[in-house]
Amino acid sequence: MKKVVIVGTGLGALTTALRLVRRGYKVEMVEKYHQAGGRLNQLKKDGFTFDLGPTFFSMTYEFDEFVEDTGLPEMPFTFRELDVLYAVNFRGEDKRYMIHRDLDRLAKEFEAVEPGFKEKMEKFLAGAGRFFHDTEHLVLKRNYDSLFEYLLTLMRVPLRHSPKLLRSVWNEMERHFESREVKEIFSLVAFFLGATPFNTPAIYTILSYTELVHDGYHNVEGGMYKIVEGLKRELDKAGAVFHFNTEITGYRFEDKQLTALIDQHGKEWEADLFVVNADAAWFRHKIFRRKKFSEQKMDKLKWTLAPFTMYLGLDTKLDDTPLHNYFLGNNFKEYSGKIFRNDIKLDQPYYYVNVVSKSDPESAPEGCESVFVLCPVPDLRYKPDWSDREEVAANILEDISERIGVDLKKHVISKTIMTPVEWRDAFNLYKGSGLGLGHDLDQIGGFRPKNYDEEFGNVFYVGASTVPGTGLPMAVISSKLVVERITKKYGSVYA
Ligand SMILES: Cc1cc2nc3c(=O)[nH]c(=O)nc-3n(C[C@H](O)[C@H](O)[C@H](O)COP(=O)(O)OP(=O)(O)OC[C@H]3O[C@@H](n4cnc5c(N)ncnc54)[C@H](O)[C@@H]3O)c2cc1C
CATH number of the domain encompassing residue 235: 3.50.50.60
Amino acid occupying residue 248:
I
> Does ligand 1 come within 6 angstroms of the Cβ of 194?
no
CB-CB neighbours of 445 under 10 Å: 20
Q: Which long-range contacts (CB under 8 A, 24 or more apart) does 478-482 make?
A: 478/12, 478/451, 479/12, 479/13, 479/15, 479/16, 479/19, 479/66, 480/15, 480/19, 480/65, 480/66, 480/69, 480/141, 481/141, 481/142, 481/143, 481/451, 482/12, 482/16, 482/275, 482/451
CA of 461 relative to ligand 1 center, distance in Å: 13
Taking the CA of residue 474 as reference, the ligand 1 atom at the shortest distance is 19
Tell me the C-alpha distance between 216 and 212, whole Å: 6
Do 295 and 226 lie in one domain? The reply is yes
Quick check: helix, strand or coil at residue 180? helix
What local confidence, expressed as pLDDT, does residue 83 receive?
Answer: 87
What local confidence, expressed as pLDDT, does residue 387 receive?
Answer: 98
Phi/psi at 446 (5° precision):
-65, -15
Tell me the C-alpha distance between 53 and 50, whole Å: 9
Taking the CA of residue 11 as reference, the ligand 1 atom at the shortest distance is 25
Do 194 and 147 lie in one domain? The reply is yes
Quick check: helix, strand or coil at residue 380? coil
Tell me the C-alpha distance between 258 and 452, whole Å: 13
> Does ligand 1 come within 6 angstroms of the Cβ of 7?
yes
* 313 is a domain residue: no
> Does ligand 1 come within 6 angstroms of the Cβ of 210?
no
Do 296 and 441 lie in one domain? The reply is yes
Do 296 and 444 lie in one domain? The reply is yes
* 141 is a domain residue: yes
Query: Could you give the number of structural domains in the chain?
Result: 2
* 375 is a domain residue: no
Do 9 and 51 lie in one domain? The reply is yes
Taking the CA of residue 470 as reference, the ligand 1 atom at the shortest distance is 19
> Does ligand 1 come within 6 angstroms of the Cβ of 277?
yes
> Does ligand 1 come within 6 angstroms of the Cβ of 376?
no
* For ligand 1, atom 8: residue with the closest CA: 54
Domain boundary (152, 178, 213) is at 213
Distance of CA 174 to CAs 120, 159, 178, Å? 11, 22, 7
Asked if residue 379 lies in contact with residue 420, where contact means CB atoms within 8 angstroms, the answer is yes
Candidate from 32, 33, 39, 427 with most ligand 1 atoms within 8 A of CB, to mutate? 39
* 161 is a domain residue: yes
* For ligand 1, atom 2: residue with the closest CA: 53
CA of 274 relative to ligand 1 center, distance in Å: 18
CA of 281 relative to ligand 1 center, distance in Å: 14
Do 173 and 232 lie in one domain? The reply is no
Taking the CA of residue 426 as reference, the ligand 1 atom at the shortest distance is 47
> Does ligand 1 come within 6 angstroms of the Cβ of 469?
no
338 by Cβ neighbours in 10 Å (0-12 / 13-18 / 19+) ranks as: middle
CA of 469 relative to ligand 1 center, distance in Å: 12
Tell me the C-alpha distance between 226 and 34, whole Å: 17
* 425 is a domain residue: no
Do 256 and 272 lie in one domain? The reply is yes
* For ligand 1, atom 53: residue with the closest CA: 434
CA of 38 relative to ligand 1 center, distance in Å: 4
Do 194 and 227 lie in one domain? The reply is no
Averages of pLDDT over runs of 10 residues in the chain (495 residues) are 97 98 97 98 98 97 97 96 96 96 97 97 96 93 95 93 91 97 96 91 94 95 98 98 98 97 98 98 98 97 96 97 96 92 90 97 98 97 97 96 96 98 98 96 96 98 97 98 97 76
Tell me the C-alpha distance between 282 and 260, whole Å: 19
Q: What is the DSSP string of 8-42?
A: --BHHHHHHHHHHHHTT-EEEEE-SSSSSBTTS-E
Asked if residue 284 lies in contact with residue 459, where contact means CB atoms within 8 angstroms, the answer is no
Do 204 and 137 lie in one domain? The reply is yes
Tell me the C-alpha distance between 215 and 57, whole Å: 10
> Does ligand 1 come within 6 angstroms of the Cβ of 38?
yes
Do 259 and 185 lie in one domain? The reply is no
Domain CATH number, residue 126? 1.10.405
> Does ligand 1 come within 6 angstroms of the Cβ of 446?
no
Do 152 and 229 lie in one domain? The reply is no
Structural domain harbouring 187:
120-213
* 324 is a domain residue: no
Give this prediction's pTM. 0.97
Taking the CA of residue 8 as reference, the ligand 1 atom at the shortest distance is 34
Domain boundary (175, 193, 213) is at 213
Instruction: Please state the three-class secondary structure of 381-421 as a single string.
Output: CCCCCCCCHHHHHHHHHHHHHHHHCCCHHHCEEEEEEECHH
* 397 is a domain residue: no
Residues near 45 by Cβ (< 8 Å), separated by ≥ 6? 311, 313, 414, 416
Burial state string for 453-474 with b = 16 or more CB within 10 A and e = fewer than 16? beebebbbbbbbbbbbbbbbbb
What local confidence, expressed as pLDDT, does residue 266 receive?
Answer: 98
> Does ligand 1 come within 6 angstroms of the Cβ of 280?
no
What local confidence, expressed as pLDDT, does residue 458 receive?
Answer: 98
Tell me the C-alpha distance between 258 and 274, whole Å: 8
Q: What is the DSSP letter of 201?
A: B
CA of 40 relative to ligand 1 center, distance in Å: 6
* 349 is a domain residue: no
Domain boundary (188, 213, 238) is at 213
